[in-house]
Amino acid sequence: MEKIRVLVVGCGNMGSSHAIAYENHPGFEICGLVSRGASKELLQKKLAQNYPLFDTYSTALATTQPDAVCINTYPETHEPYSLEALDCGCHVFLEKPIATTVAGGKRVIERAQQQNKKVVVGYILRHHPVWQLFVAEAKKLGKPLVMRMNLNQQSEGQMWTVHKNLMQSLSPIVDCGVHYLDVMCQMTAAKPLCVSAIGVRLTDAIPADNYNYGQLQISFDDGSVGWYEAGWGPMMSENAFFIKDVIGPKGAVSLAQEEKDSDNIDGHTQTDTMRIHHAQIDANNAFTKEDELKSFAQAPNHQELCDREQDYFFTAIQQNIDLTQHLNDAVGSLQIALACDEAVKTGQTILL
């Protein structure tokens, strides 16, 4: 079997993890690393082999002529980089969001269909066995659901630099929110109706029209509701930064973790326990069943999840998996997140 030659574009946190996944996967072969700064040299030191290094994406594409491109750059480049790769006949693995606009996301999908190439968007939680179980248990709670989630990061050092760069084009509730809105849509399997949101700019280090703390609220046509909050910056509190909680008529299911460092990327996906609460009561209003506690000492870490994502990408290419629903879901969660951004800036509830 010929290996899939992949060009890694963007060599920061996610690019580094995906490059390691490619190097360890028997079906992939890295043909180059691309970044504007020194991150590619830093990544090179982590890898077992030396690869060609490039400062510019177009030059790397023309020189290496890869079979696939892995895009881990800032969100405003996702659409143009994907289109350029597809036009060169490459499959694309693309970190979320698929684009910075709904129209841009649809252009990526249309181009992939025209070129008959695969595009996989990095929704890492879809590959996590604990989060898969979380969704499955939530579906057992009856309807409607109340979904409560957040991801606040007390960022410092390099992570604050990364977050400030991200906020040149997107807010935290868009960049991170697409993950958790995707989870909510999976749990309800219902149509989102409307969103409202609030946001606050807590620092002068970001554009005047952006905000580094936001909270959204969403309603679905089955009566379910959800909220999500996200904040980035050195001023953020680490109190209750990890809330993953769903309530339904039959009880509740919650994820918990011991990790207290909100800036640790492993802690964003890793969880230690799941608590399943049963709401049934007897004639004396006493619970008839004890809560269930599930421990996940062997749950995959961040690198192992990236390994799983790239194995899925490989399988999608080799087995010609139909990714239509995957891509439509990526655009759907982006549409909701962007509507929340609009709600913050207009002060209005946005109908979907």
Q: Give the pLDDT confidence of 177-206 residue by residue, as tens digits.
A: 999 999 999 999 999 999 999 999 999 999
Decide which of 82, 106, 122 is a domain's last residue: 122
Could you tell me the residue range of the domain that residue 77 belongs to? Answer: 4-122
Whether 246 and 98 share a structural domain? no
Mean pLDDT value across the chain: 95
d(CA 302, CA 265): 7
| CATH number, residue 265 | 3.30.360.10
User: Sheet harboring 68-71: ordered strands across?
Assistant: 53-54, 28-34, 4-9, 68-71, 91-95, 119-122
Q: What's the number of CA atoms in the CB half-sphere (13 Å) around residue 310? A: 31
Whether 112 and 215 share a structural domain? no
**Chain segment 149-160, per-residue pLDDT in tens:** 999 999 999 999
Looking at residue 247, what is its pLDDT? 98
- Any domain includes 283: yes
Share of the chain above pLDDT 70, in %: 96
Q: Give the mean model confidence (pLDDT) for residues 74-93.
A: 97
Whether 181 and 292 share a structural domain? yes
Looking at residue 271, what is its pLDDT? 73
Decide which of 78, 105, 122 is a domain's last residue: 122
In this structure, what are the phi and psi dihedrals at residue 56, rounded to the nearest 5 degrees?
-125, 140
- Any domain includes 324: no
Q: Give the mean model confidence (pLDDT) for residues 113-117.
A: 98
**Chain segment 161-170, per-residue pLDDT in tens:** 999 999 998 9
Q: Give the mean model confidence (pLDDT) for residues 81-94.
A: 98
Residue 267 has pLDDT above 60, yes or no: no
The token pair that represents 285 in the structure block: 């209003």
The token pair that represents 261 in the structure block: 């460092």
Looking at residue 298, what is its pLDDT? 84
Q: Give the mean model confidence (pLDDT) for residues 291-319.
A: 95
**Chain segment 269-278, per-residue pLDDT in tens:** 567 899 999 9
Decide which of 96, 122, 148 is a domain's last residue: 122
Q: What's the number of CA atoms in the CB half-sphere (13 Å) around residue 107? A: 14
Looking at residue 129, what is its pLDDT? 94
Looking at residue 261, what is its pLDDT? 60
- Any domain includes 305: no
- Any domain includes 327: no
Beta-strand (E) ranges in 119-182?
Answer: 119-122, 146-153
Q: How many domains is the chain partitioned into structurally?
A: 2
Beta carbons within 8 Å of 27's beta carbon, 6+ residues apart? 1, 3, 4, 314, 318
Q: What's the number of CA atoms in the CB half-sphere (13 Å) around residue 113? A: 12
In this structure, what are the phi and psi dihedrals at residue 233, rounded to the nearest 5 degrees?
140, 165
Secondary structure (3-state) at 291: coil
| CATH number, residue 95 | 3.40.50.720
Residue 266 has pLDDT above 90, yes or no: no
Whether 137 and 51 share a structural domain? no
**Chain segment 22-34, per-residue pLDDT in tens:** 999 999 999 999 9
- Any domain includes 318: no
Residue 58 has pLDDT above 90, yes or no: yes
Residue 258 has pLDDT above 90, yes or no: no
Taking the CA atoms of residue 330, residue 259, residue 16 and residue 55 in that order, the dihedral angle to the nearest 10 degrees is 80
- Per the document, the length of the chain is 352
Looking at residue 240, what is its pLDDT? 83
- Any domain includes 321: no
Looking at residue 263, what is its pLDDT? 57
User: Residues 277, 251: contact at Cβ < 8 Å?
Assistant: yes
- Any domain includes 326: no
Looking at residue 241, what is its pLDDT? 85
Question: Taking the complete model, does pTM exceed 0.85, yes or no?
Answer: yes
Whether 238 and 114 share a structural domain? no
Residue 264 has pLDDT above 60, yes or no: no
Whether 114 and 130 share a structural domain? no
